Structure 1
Amino acid sequence: MDKARWLALSPLLDELLDLDGPARAERLAALAAQDPALGEELRRCLAAEGEAGQSDFLEAPAVAALNIAAPGPGIEQEGQLIGPYRLERPIGQGGMGSVWTATRADGRFEGRVAVKFLKAGLFAAGDAGRFAREGQILARLSHPHIARLLDAGVQEGQPYLVLEFVDGQPLDAYCRQHRLGIEARVRLFLDVLAAVGHAHARLILHRDLKPSNILVTPQGEVKLLDFGIAKLLQDEAQATEGAGATELTRHAGNAYTPQFAAPEQVQQADVTTATDVYALGVLLYLLLSGAHPTQADTQTQLDRLKSIVEHVPRALSEAAVRQGDPITASQARALRGDLDTIVAKALKKAPSERYANAQALADDLQRWLAHEPIAARPDSRLYVLGRFVRRHRWAVAAGSAAVVALLGLTGVSVLQAQRAQQAEVQAEARRHQAEDLLVYMLGEFAEKLRPIGRLELLDSVGSKSLSFLADDPRASATERLQRAKALTVIGEVRVTRRDLDAALEPLRAARALLQGDPPEAAQTAAWRKAQGAAAFWLGHVMLLKRDLPAAQQSFEDYRVVSARWLEALPQDMEAAVELSYAYANLGSMAMDAGRLTDADGAFTRSIALKRQALQALDGARRDGPTAELANSLSYLGTTQLWRGEFSAALRTFGEALAEIAPVREKHPGDGLWLFREAMLHRWMGETLLTQGHPENAQADLQAAVALLTKATALDATNKTWQIDLLVTELMAQEARLRAGHPGTAAELAALRARLEQIEQAGGQPQQLRRLPDRARWARLHAAHPSTRPDAADAVLQETRQRLRDGLKARPEDERLARALAWLDQAWLARTPATAAAYRDVCDAVLTDVSGMRAFLRTDQAVTATWLAAQSCPGREPDPETAQVRDWLASRR
């Protein structure tokens, strides 16, 4: 039964279950007369409910009933190695798995961690790589009140998580043992909200907040556990839709703890940040009253689930008097009024009626502590006055006499106060509207769409809110920051849809809102990061539109704001990472434009910053940054290769391989790490091939082919990896041919067929991008012993003309220039110097390289081709020939 049909049947089924036997039969007959199919479905549901009631199925845990697979042999044993960790002893067991303490086995750092084994049946088979990558994403949560998720992986089919070890008590037990009063409990709870708010801002929900997941250390420090595990489970289930969901998803819905589940979780509706707010409301109710909001009058599991959806809890202050522990019962009077209202709002059944997120709940609790008006109730004059008197009781008492003396002015003052209050209410409503919109844009919806590549669905929301977000001269600095973030998301959405012109408006509006320096020191990091994001996406748009000067300027702005961020906060490694990305973007632009010296400098700076950031990380968090470092090293090595600095390029690629290989061995089933190592082997092979060492090149190129073959087998839908595998096979064939061991003509034909298939699938843009690969195939085909001379010449000339046309459209594209230079060299080499056509070939090649003069004495391939054409017999030597020859000699 699909969800829509169930929503239609559910209210009718509830109605029938509330009736006794004869009345139920009469009502069912009436429904069947109106709709026979509906009546039959209701009869089946009632029969199933009767069978379930007789079997007491709700009395057994759902996970146990599902018979979820236990860990395989050899897992969860004392002394067992799980990655780099050695298990010590079990410290917990539950329906989702078990928890052990462990220590680092390779000596990289001292200290204990917690290893949580999850029941293997909760996950789809064959997706260990995705699970580990998601763990790395969640490991980026960095907050003093969140127990860090250090690593995630799968060993022998057993999923596991490595978490920071926390020695503490559950939150409610800690409050009782230390006999904390109402205010002390609220202040401790604010630490919980700060941690949840931090995760919400990074688009991560908890979905299972409960006392056992919130520990307090002996020093009074709050630590939240299991952040993101529900996201791992949910994403795993989403990833398998259409191919069979996990056992837990198919039979028991999303994982949650019923005592702390929100109504939408019980009803299997969409979860949002407001879902976590509901669990936080249950926690706060429990902390301040000692009672659960919905379980006081329920007995069976079915009644408990029904009460979550329907039962309205009694007031917090009333529950504290009746069932609270001695401390909260004695202070129950303090719960009346504002705290009653705050908790009631957090526990609303409809998500839209709750606080939008943890920060909004925290703001109201802070107002309560400061005796200020809360946002969860109307700001009546009497209420506002009462809060003011409580905050300033002595000043009010001292000024009472003056108030009496000024009584004649009260009427005018009250009228002005009413008008001011109305304006304030309107402004507050507008601010709340903006906040709700921003939470919706940046939170719940973006979280669901980003992992599945469907951000474009946000575009309609962004279009309707664009003018509202951009135009409000009264907005505070904080509101401008939040609006700019939302506008940047809109721009990103439109870039993903390749609606580049439409992306310009929100991105430019975001940059306008963030002009200048941060308004206060506390906002430095957030302000600079938002400035950098808007500048990056605007530069990306301009790059895709081929407006290279504008793209260069935006990427330079990205570098400037990131540099100022790091200058203001030199210990903030996130600033160092952002600045490294900015330099990498500038390097890529310089490289594509043939400014290889500029590219070399930018990549060198990017590498230095990434090394600086890596030094601040422990071993468990280095994998992702290591990949970024190797990526920049790869770009630097490519720059050196193009400049003809072959020895330096080999050292740089080797350095990147040394960084990547150990991490890749830790993730043998992860296709992305296989791909990264394969590409470095390919670059080393191409360098050796260009240097004139085809025998040595074969080993690296064959290693790259093997790794890419393995990676594409793990992810058969990844078109990029398939293209790179084809290009690597072309290079390997060239190395074999030049080493005297050519492949067969059939192999060459098969490579061409695959290349043409890729070109046709991508249309004109893909054909242009693949021109360097087509040129490589043409050179390989022309040099093969089985190719007839006329057929070789025909293919070379056809490909040469395509490259010339491509360079007319993109004269700054160095990849096309290099491909044409290598092709012209092959043409010259095939033409005997004694042939009558040799002078014509020389003239044609010289015409080609004259149009690429910007790359002279910058790109080794273009420069070598120019010098070869200048050396044709009977040609007047160019005055620059000697300097070019010296430059090439210095490359060796």
Structure 2
Amino acid sequence: RVRLFLDVLAAVAHAHNRLILHRDLKPSNILVTAAGEVKLLDFGIAKLLHDATVPAAATEITKAAGRAFTLQYAAPEQLQDGDVTTATDVYALGVLLYVLLGGVHPTAAFTTAPLDQMRAVIEAEPKRLSDAVLLNSAGGAAAVKLKQARALRGDLDNIVARALKKAPTARYANAALLADDLRRYLNDEPVTARPDAIGYRSAKSLRRHRLGVAAGSVVVLALTVGIGAALWEANEARQQRVQAEGLIEFMLGDLRKKLQPVGRLDVLDAVGAQALAYYAAQDAGRLDADSLGRRARALHLIGEIAERRGSLDEALRVFQRAADSTAELMARYPQDGQRIFDHAQSVYWVGYMARQRGQVPDAEASFRKYQELAQQLTRLDPNKLDWRIETAYAAQNLGVVYLESSRSAQALKAFVETRDAWAGIVEARPEHGFELGNTWGWIAKAREALGEFDAALDAQRTKIDVLRKLPDADKNRIVQRHLAIAASELARLQLALGRYPLAGRAGQDAVDKFEVLVATDRANAEWLAQMTLARVILAEIQLALGERAAASASLDRVAADTVRLRSTDGTRNKWNITLLGSLLLHRLALAESPAPQRQDLEAYLATVESAVSGGKPLDAEQTRIASAVELALGDLLARDAQPAAARGHWQGAAERLQATADRGELPSMTLLAQARLRLGAKAGARSLAQRIEVSLYRHPAYAELRQRLAAAAGAAPGTP
């Protein structure tokens, strides 16, 4: 029954996410189709949660509608003409759940006179659900009722009681939070609902029976009122905190999912700022476990929003604060799987931000800690699939770090391990097909780094095939993003193989896909950056095809978007080094006015040195781009009759490239051969070219190398 009720909650949560209240939830308004799908009926008195800008006429209509309800399922605030919120629907859901599980109404029989029903809703405290089952005269044999009561006692009692609180602020803030607690109950995880504190019941009793208490001893009364009031105030403060934190979770979670598709994440900036101020004023050491958990979840959401805007420094600070909260929780409950899991998520985000900032050693350290936590979870419960999923994520994260630090063989091993793990997981949970497809993409990257271009193409195509077969793939923006990435990777691979027309089609397809995606969320800096990188690849292909006008137009867009990205966060290697360096090189290749000047290249290389000295080492791709810029600067200096300065930059490029070339990375070997040729080491350049020749690598840079070698040898082009 609880699982069936979760479907009802999902339907109500969907309405709440659209900022709609139902306000008349009852059995006759809930339809279960033959296919088992839950439908909500009669939205005639539903209310759209607009702000003060709603026209007066519309406001009057909703006010009038607000007085329409079904008495047996109405919340106290509806009967008292108070404000209705998502918590109003939660009360009706609590009544439904109480009746579904207990067979009786929580406050009055359905046959009670309307006035008595209204009074009961406002004044009567519902019996505990398990007690109501035992007292239900129509509940069947005593043994059956006792068994049912035992099943309900504890968490279900507390969950239903919280949904039926008289004060809206004491209930779950929305249907999604109620559903979350029920899922926790079904999964044998700690729930957020707790039994009423003694102070709460004492305060309620004092309010209901003032006259009876007044007849007692004055001394006892003073003592009782003093203690009761203090406990009541503390409990009210706790309830207000729970409600405030629940609202923060709703706004940063469910509401964010509604705003993201229409490109209005900026609306949540103020919410995030206020939430940060709210949490900054708290002493984490004095918070209970539930509050610490809510604090960490909210900080994760705030950090994600900051990261999407491109504010990496802010995001890292927020994620670190979340990690402090989850570490405190884990210290209190070192054998609680959920607390370990929560801390693992915080550790992951700290590592992810380090990777985004180009701090690979820090990222690797965090990802190793994440893996240790995942392994700790599997030791606690080896059969729990959720923990196996965490170990798969952990292996993949480390594989990415290995790949970006040119440990390609180690990366491939990690990705193959991850792929096999996901393949087993997908059999039990098909929804994780996305992760399986994504891992195929990483396998492709590792194969490419090892010079296995055909295998890399096959892996990318497998990724595309897996992703396209996912349910609602065409509507899922995350899937569409990865399909766009895969198209761009196909374009890059075809370019590396010298198949320019195929590369051009794939490159244009990637940019088109990203254009559609970015239009749904223009505040998402990461998506904009990925689209810009895809356009860089397309411009390179257009240059190889001789489509100069098209390449020029592509580079104009790259320039504008790079400026925009760097204005949001000027610290990211991906933007300062990868994008800006690629733009400079392609502008030079286009050789049109205004071409980059020496000072542009010198400023870029100064940025590179600043990043490296600041603890942000270059990945393999950034190393190649910086080296290519250094070669180009040396060429400009040689043209200006400054041979010593030119040689210094050519030598600098050779030194940068040596390590990755020694590992057999063909693009690095090609550039190193170019550097050696400029330095007069023809034999060394020719040796590298011969090693490249036996591979499938036929990038335009290799074609240029062959021409330079032929010119240096005084031979016709055609031999290295």
What interval of TM-score do these two structures reach, taking the shorter chain for normalisation? 0.5 to 0.7
Count of residues in Structure 1 that have an aligned counterpart in Structure 2: 603
Correspondence list, 1:747-758, <5 A: 747=553, 750-751=556-557, 754-755=560-561, 757-758=563-564
Match of 2:246 in 1: 443
Match of 2:710 in 1: none
Judge conservation of contact 1:775–1:819 (CA < 8 Å) in 2. yes
Distance of 1:354 and 1:669 partners within structure 2: 34
Judge conservation of contact 2:570–2:576 (CA < 8 Å) in 1. no
Shift of 1:802: 0.3
Match of 1:630 in 2: 437
Match of 2:575 in 1: 769
2:103 is the alignment partner of 1:284: no
Match of 2:515 in 1: 709
Correspondence list, 1:41-52, <5 A: none
Give identity over the alignment, percent: 17
2:658 is the alignment partner of 1:850: no
Structure 1 residues 434 and 569: alpha-carbon distance in aligned structure 2, compared to 1, 3 A threshold: farther
Deviations 1:399-424 (A, max 9, x none): xxxxxxxxxxxxxxxxxxxxxx9xx9
Give SS of 2:549's match: coil
Distance of 2:553 and 2:172 partners within structure 1: 64
Deviations 1:30-55 (A, max 9, x none): xxxxxxxxxxxxxxxxxxxxxxxxxx
Match of 2:607 in 1: 805
The structure having more radius of gyration, on CA atoms, is 1
Match of 2:275 in 1: 458
Judge conservation of contact 1:446–1:458 (CA < 8 Å) in 2. no
Q: Which structure carries more helix by proportion?
A: 2
Structure 1 residues 822 and 268: alpha-carbon distance in aligned structure 2, compared to 1, 3 A threshold: farther
Match of 2:138 in 1: 327
Match of 1:489 in 2: 297
Structure 1 residues 672 and 460: alpha-carbon distance in aligned structure 2, compared to 1, 3 A threshold: same
Distance of 2:469 and 2:299 partners within structure 1: 38
Aligned residue identity for 1:507: A
Distance of 2:644 and 2:419 partners within structure 1: 47
Judge conservation of contact 2:163–2:171 (CA < 8 Å) in 1. yes
Match of 1:787 in 2: 592
TM-score, normalisation: structure 2: 0.65
Judge conservation of contact 1:264–1:271 (CA < 8 Å) in 2. no
Which of 527, 532, 543 lines up with 2:344 in the alignment? 532
Match of 1:645 in 2: 452
Greater displacement, 843-852 / 737-746: 737-746
2:86 is the alignment partner of 1:271: yes
Shift of 1:683: 0.8
Across the aligned residues of Structure 1 and Structure 2, the Cα RMSD in angstroms comes to 5.9
Distance of 1:863 and 1:308 partners within structure 2: 84
Judge conservation of contact 2:559–2:583 (CA < 8 Å) in 1. no
Match of 1:864 in 2: 670
Distance of 1:355 and 1:374 partners within structure 2: 15
2:626 is the alignment partner of 1:820: yes
2:464 is the alignment partner of 1:662: no
Shift of 1:654: 0.9
Deviations 1:589-631 (A, max 9, x none): 333434434433333333332222211135xxx3xx3333333
Q: Which runs of 5+ in 2 are unaligned?
A: 15-20, 186-194, 206-223, 257-267, 307-313, 698-720
Distance of 1:255 and 1:799 partners within structure 2: 70
Give SS of 2:548's match: coil
Distance of 1:719 and 1:545 partners within structure 2: 14
Judge conservation of contact 1:804–1:820 (CA < 8 Å) in 2. no
Deviations 1:675-725 (A, max 9, x none): 332221111101111232212211211222332333345555555444444
Distance of 1:801 and 1:506 partners within structure 2: 37
Distance of 2:45 and 2:640 partners within structure 1: 70
Deviations 1:241-280 (A, max 9, x none): 98999x99985889997442424577444434x9635642
Shift of 1:281: 4.5
Correspondence list, 1:106-255, <5 A: 144=3, 210-211=26-27, 226=38
Judge conservation of contact 1:210–1:283 (CA < 8 Å) in 2. no
Aligned residue identity for 2:297: V
Give SS of 1:765's match: coil
Aligned residue identity for 2:251: K
Match of 1:700 in 2: 506
Structure 1 residues 375 and 686: alpha-carbon distance in aligned structure 2, compared to 1, 3 A threshold: same
Shift of 1:668: 4.0
Q: Which structure carries more strand by proportion?
A: 1
Which of 413, 430, 443 lines up with 1:601 in the alignment? 413
Distance of 1:696 and 1:838 partners within structure 2: 41
Distance of 1:433 and 1:563 partners within structure 2: 41
TM-score, normalisation: structure 1: 0.54
Higher relative contact order (CA 8 A, sep 6+): 2
Give SS of 2:86's match: coil
Judge conservation of contact 1:760–1:767 (CA < 8 Å) in 2. no
Give SS of 1:812's match: coil
Match of 2:489 in 1: 683
Distance of 1:308 and 1:888 partners within structure 2: 89
Deviations 1:55-75 (A, max 9, x none): xxxxxxxxxxxxxxxxxxxxx
Distance of 2:527 and 2:355 partners within structure 1: 23
Match of 1:391 in 2: none
Distance of 1:841 and 1:631 partners within structure 2: 43
Distance of 1:589 and 1:871 partners within structure 2: 33
Which of 480, 505, 509 lines up with 1:674 in the alignment? 480
Judge conservation of contact 1:494–1:500 (CA < 8 Å) in 2. no
Shift of 1:655: 1.0
Match of 2:717 in 1: none
Distance of 2:643 and 2:514 partners within structure 1: 42
Distance of 1:233 and 1:576 partners within structure 2: 46
Distance of 1:433 and 1:842 partners within structure 2: 75
Aligned residue identity for 2:98: L
Distance of 2:283 and 2:171 partners within structure 1: 25
Structure 1 residues 658 and 582: alpha-carbon distance in aligned structure 2, compared to 1, 3 A threshold: same
Shift of 1:812: 1.5
Give SS of 2:538's match: helix
Shift of 1:820: 2.0
Give SS of 2:103's match: helix
Distance of 1:566 and 1:235 partners within structure 2: 46
Q: Which runs of 5+ in 1 are unaligned?
A: 1-141, 153-160, 162-204, 217-223, 364-372, 384-420, 471-478
Judge conservation of contact 2:423–2:436 (CA < 8 Å) in 1. yes
Distance of 1:143 and 1:344 partners within structure 2: 15
Judge conservation of contact 1:262–1:278 (CA < 8 Å) in 2. yes
Match of 1:587 in 2: 399
Shift of 1:844: 1.7
Match of 1:387 in 2: none
Shift of 1:731: 2.6
Deviations 1:75-111 (A, max 9, x none): xxxxxxxxxxxxxxxxxxxxxxxxxxxxxxxxxxxxx
2:323 is the alignment partner of 1:507: yes
Shift of 1:653: 1.0
Judge conservation of contact 1:678–1:704 (CA < 8 Å) in 2. yes
Give SS of 2:662's match: coil
Give SS of 1:871's match: helix
Judge conservation of contact 1:294–1:313 (CA < 8 Å) in 2. no
Distance of 2:409 and 2:234 partners within structure 1: 50
Judge conservation of contact 1:634–1:680 (CA < 8 Å) in 2. yes
Shift of 1:554: 2.6
Shift of 1:837: 7.0
